[in-house]
Structure 1
Amino acid sequence: MPNDFNQQIIDEFRANSGRVGGPFEGARLILLTTTGARSGAPHTTPVGYLPDEDRILVIASAGGGPKHPDWYHNLLADPSATVEDGVFTYRARAEVLTGAERDEVFARAVEAEPGWAAYQAKTSRVIPVLALRQVAGGPPNAASPGAALKLIHDAFRRELALIRAEVVRSGPGLGAQLRVNCLTVCQGLHHHHVNEDAGLFVALDGQPELAATLARLREEHRRIAALVERLQQVVNATDADPAEVRREVERLTTELEAHLAYEEEQLIPVLDGTG
């Protein structure tokens, strides 16, 4: 069973689609459910994570304590886990990173948040880093199609807000993890819009009254794709300039915010049968 502090975070996370206050406000957080190595019972723990394009990374810091956290031992015994990210609940498989890959990822984490180095300094154990890769999933955790659309959109809004703040704090150089964060959200936007173009919008094409709306949304997708490509180019440059990255993130955010607001205004009533 989670302790009282963890249970409060779990309850708040689930009640607010992944948003929590207190010490974890604004943090990238998941709920990780593992199978107890001894009990065989499910155990859910709030865990911070790092984006890593098609997977996420978790660090078994235990606050710099002398022992690895229980969830790490559980994953050693059974690498299958359930991840809740506030939008989706999905099955994942854990892989313990070793050698140079572990060290490179941990260095990225320390560069982005020096607190990880402080945890390592407090303990004689080498703090493990694990990758979680989705193996099965389902629809968004929402009560209706319109609510699902809003939930996905809000996740992009939150991630871009985090990246904007990280760019501001980045100093004269662009950190390796910040590069990954930017590229991960770009990848996510690309997949989301491709899926909308090939799925949702095609399903709505049979409604003549939506023709102009869908034409506008498809054109906005093309404009956003160009901004995403430009941001990727700037981020991938060897001597990436944080000021230029910030400008491109701001351009993308401004265009995307307008697009998301229009799409929600036009499509949520249709999807939920209220318009």
Structure 2
Amino acid sequence: MPNEFNQQIIEEFRANGGKVGGPFEGARLLLLTTVGARSGARHTTPLGYLPDGGGRVLVIASAGGAPNHPAWFHNLVANPLVTVEDGLFTYEARAAVLEGAERDRVFARAVEADPGWADYQARTARVIPVVALQGVDGGPPKASSAGETLKLVHDVFRRELALIRKEVTESGAGLGAQLRVNCLTLCQGLHNHHTGEDIAMFPFLAGHRPELAPVLERLGREHERIAVLIEELREVLSAEGADPPLVLAEVERLTDELERHLTYEEEQLLPVLGT
């Protein structure tokens, strides 16, 4: 029988491009669909996740510290090919249960970021599994137009930057390993997005809408400025004993520049791309 609370989250997530309210407002959330180990039926579960870079995300089978693994974990052990929804894309992924030192290192990273994971582990005798989800087959954006896709992508970056600012502010004296990964994953995502625009979308628009030349030139210059800010943030993150106030200052510089850029791009291109 479907869990009514989970079903409400799933419906809200799908209706709002990955945004939900209530206890999970502002959290990193995905929808994981597994195939039942016994039934063969598809089951969808909302889960918090941790960025891991390289197109890989991590989920933790805590079940709130319950004595048994959650059903979704048993399902993906039996059938490792799963479906992931992140609010923008729906894609196939291969699930791999982390073992030994790798599991312990990643779980420690999660605990450093959120001590609640340690509380869950303390409640149960089982070793709480950590699962890596690696995309193997991408799907189209969940949008009806290029403009809607662009706005959804922008909003993902806005949410992630807001979350990272909050995490850095609350990080205390040291910058945890998971927070570094979060920042670096964001940096790579921005780089990939702007590179894609530079080599594909902007040349296409320039060829079909020559009147947009001044807009595209400005957006290209802004990409260059943002690339410098991304590299400066990476340098601060790579320093031994990275100082949270310095990291926060770089994140805020990037946020301010990026928000101006995203707002201008939306004002100029959404009417052309459709919404």
TM-score bracket for the superposition, by shorter chain length: over 0.9
Give the alignment partner of residue 227 of structure 1, picking from 226, 229, 234: 229
Deviates more, 1:197-206 or 1:151-160: 197-206
Listed as ranges, the gaps of 5+ residues in structure 2 are none
User: CA-to-partner distance for each residue in 1:33-80, whole Å, 9 max, x for gaps?
Assistant: 000000111000001100111210000000000000011011101110
User: CA-to-partner distance for each residue in 1:63-104, whole Å, 9 max, x for gaps?
Assistant: 000000011011101110110011111111111101111001
SS in 1 for 2:125: coil
Q: Does 1:29 align with 2:29?
A: yes
Partner of 1:89: 90
Q: In the alignment, is the contact (CA less than 8 A) between 1:230 and 1:248 conserved in 2? A: yes
Q: In the alignment, is the contact (CA less than 8 A) between 1:89 and 1:137 conserved in 2? A: yes
TM-score, normalized by length of structure 1? 0.98
**Residue type of the alignment partner of 1:72:** F
How many pairs are equivalent? 273
In structure 2, how many angstroms separate the alpha carbons of the residues matched to 1:87 and 1:190? 18
In structure 2, how many angstroms separate the alpha carbons of the residues matched to 1:169 and 1:52? 20
How do 1:58-207 and structure 2 match up within 5 A?
A: 58-206=59-207, 207=209
Listed as ranges, the gaps of 5+ residues in structure 1 are none
Q: 1:202: Cα distance to partner? A: 1.1
In structure 1, how many angstroms separate the alpha carbons of the residues matched to 2:76 and 2:181? 25
In structure 1, how many angstroms separate the alpha carbons of the residues matched to 2:57 and 2:122? 24
Q: Does 1:253 align with 2:258?
A: no
Q: In the alignment, is the contact (CA less than 8 A) between 1:92 and 1:134 conserved in 2? A: yes
User: CA-to-partner distance for each residue in 1:142-161, whole Å, 9 max, x for gaps?
Assistant: 12110110000000000000
SS in 2 for 1:205: helix
Instruction: Give the root-mean-square deviation of aligned CA atoms.
Output: 0.9
User: CA-to-partner distance for each residue in 1:128-154, whole Å, 9 max, x for gaps?
Assistant: 001001111122111211011000000
**Residue type of the alignment partner of 1:229:** E
**Residue type of the alignment partner of 1:4:** E
Q: Does 1:48 align with 2:51?
A: no
Partner of 1:38: 38
In structure 2, how many angstroms separate the alpha carbons of the residues matched to 1:22 and 1:214? 39
Structure 1 stretches of 4+ with a deviation exceeding 2 A read none
SS in 2 for 1:37: coil
Q: In the alignment, is the contact (CA less than 8 A) between 1:2 and 1:45 conserved in 2? A: no
- Give aligned-pair identity as a percent: 71
In structure 1, how many angstroms separate the alpha carbons of the residues matched to 2:36 and 2:151? 35
In structure 2, how many angstroms separate the alpha carbons of the residues matched to 1:74 and 1:30? 17
**Residue type of the alignment partner of 2:219:** L
In structure 1, how many angstroms separate the alpha carbons of the residues matched to 2:246 and 2:84? 34
